[in-house]
Amino acid sequence: MWGWLVLVLLGGYLAGCLHGARLAQMISGVNLKEAGVKNFGASNATIVLGKKFGALVAVIDIAKGTLVILLTRVLGEQAGLSGEASSLLLFVPGPLS
């Protein structure tokens, strides 16, 4: 169980390191940390770059969190964890991603 916990923590952390706003910033050339409300969220991307970039950032941020949770579910089932342990494992990566 501890090995899976470490793997899930690492996956959640790595997913949290990916920012959809970084991609929008690279495409547009506008530094979102210096424009608008100065954060990397979808709302700032929408304010500074428009609806298309805001939607791109939102989709990437939602997808990375969803993907980590789904991957955790699959790994927990393949590892043969009990239903309760597998369900508890789902709460680990969410706040990190």
User: Does the pTM exceed 0.85?
Assistant: no
Domain extent at residue 43: 18-89
Residue 18 scores a pLDDT above 70:
yes
pLDDT grade, residue 54 (50/70/90)?
very high
Average of per-residue pLDDT across 12-23: 86
Q: In angstroms, rounded to a whole number, what is the distance separating the alpha carbons of residues 85 and 32?
A: 40
Q: What is the mean pLDDT of the chain?
A: 84
In a domain, residue 50? The reply is yes
Q: Is residue 95 part of a domain?
A: no
d(CA 8, CA 6): 5
- Domain membership of residue 9 (yes or no) is no
Structurally, how many domains does the chain consist of? 1
Between CA 69 and CA 52 the distance in angstroms is: 26
